[in-house]
Amino acid sequence: MELTLEQMQHLFEQGYVLIPGVIPRERVNAALRAINHSLGEGIDPARLTTFRAQSYAPELQRDPVITDLYNATPVKELAESLIGEGMVRPIGGGQIALRFPIAPGQSPAQPKPHLDGMYTPTNGVPQGRIASFTMLIGVALSDVSEPFAGNLTVWPRTHHLYEKYFREYGAEALLHGMPPVLLPEPVHLTARAGDVMLCHYELAHTAAPNISPHTRYAIYFRASHVNHDQQWKEAMTDIWMEWPGAR
C-alpha cells in the first residue's frame, strides 16, 4: 500500500496525512477488547500521570493484539514506502493512548503543542536527551467526529518552521524547550476507527481536551530509520533525509 500523489503532497506540505480505513474492524475490536479488559481490572490512581504520559495498559504494549496493528496490516507497508523498504526499525511496541472526558462543567484548555522525545518528569525520557524518531503513526480505535474530543491536534507546516529554526540554532536547541516560532492555527483531526494518521516527527502536535461523552482510544507507533541514532541531528535540519519516498 502506498500513498496517492494527493496524499503525498499533503504530507509533504502540511506535515501529516490521514488515510481512511487501513485497519480491519476485527483488529480494531480485538485491541479494544484487550484494552477494556485491562481497564476493568482496575487502574492504580498513583500511576495515572505516568499512564497519560507513556501508555495505559502497559502490559499490552508489546502484545501482538497491539503490535499487529502495525506489523500485520498495511501500516508497515505505508511506513516503508516513505522511509524505505527494510529501512524501518522493527516495531516491538505501541503506546496505548486514551483520553477520558474532562469533568462536567469544566472548560477545555487550549491545546499546547509539543514534539515527542523531550524530557518531562513522567514520560520516561532521560534528562538531557532528545528521544527523536522519524515518523509518528497514529491508529484510531474509536470515532472522533468533532473538535475537543481528545483529537490528535496538529499545527500544520510546523515541520518546515522547525527545520529552519534548527538549521540556525542546532538540533540540541530542543533541550531548552519548544522553538519560539510563530505558529499557525491548530487543526483537530477527525477520524473513524481504523483510520491511520502519519505525521513527520518535527510536526507540532498534542491531544485535545475531551469534552465529548466518549473515551478516545488510539495507538501510537514511533517509526525510526535504521540509521536514526547516528544521524538524528542531521535529520532535524534536513527533514526529508530519512524519507526517500517523500523526497
Confidence of residue 245 (pLDDT cuts 50, 70, 90): confident
pLDDT at 200: 98
Report the pLDDT averaged over residues 37-52. Answer: 90
How many angstroms separate the CA atoms of 208 and 188, rounded? Answer: 7
Q: For the chain, list the strands marked E by DSSP.
A: 16-19, 95-99, 135-140, 152-154, 187-188, 196-200, 205-207, 216-223
Asked whether residue 247 carries a pLDDT value surpassing 80, the answer given is no
| Cβ–Cβ < 8 Å for 223, 135 | yes
C-alpha grid cell, residue 206: 498534542
pLDDT digits (tens, 9 = 90+) for 211-234: 999 999 999 999 999 999 999 999
How many angstroms separate the CA atoms of 62 and 70, rounded? Answer: 12
Domain 5-237: which CATH number of 3.40.50.2000, 3.20.20.210, 2.60.40.10, 2.60.120.620? 2.60.120.620
pLDDT at 226: 97
Report the pLDDT averaged over residues 202-210. Answer: 97
Asked whether residue 183 carries a pLDDT value surpassing 90, the answer given is yes
For residue 137, the cross-strand partners are 198, 221
Amino acid at position 58, single letter: P
Report the pLDDT averaged over residues 70-93. Answer: 97
For the whole prediction, is pTM greater than 0.85? Answer: yes
Domain segments of the chain as ranges = 5-237
- What residues contact 48, with CB distance under 8 A and at least 6 apart? none
Average pLDDT of the chain? 95
pLDDT digits (tens, 9 = 90+) for 108-165: 989 999 999 998 888 888 888 999 999 999 999 999 999 999 999 999 999 999 999 9
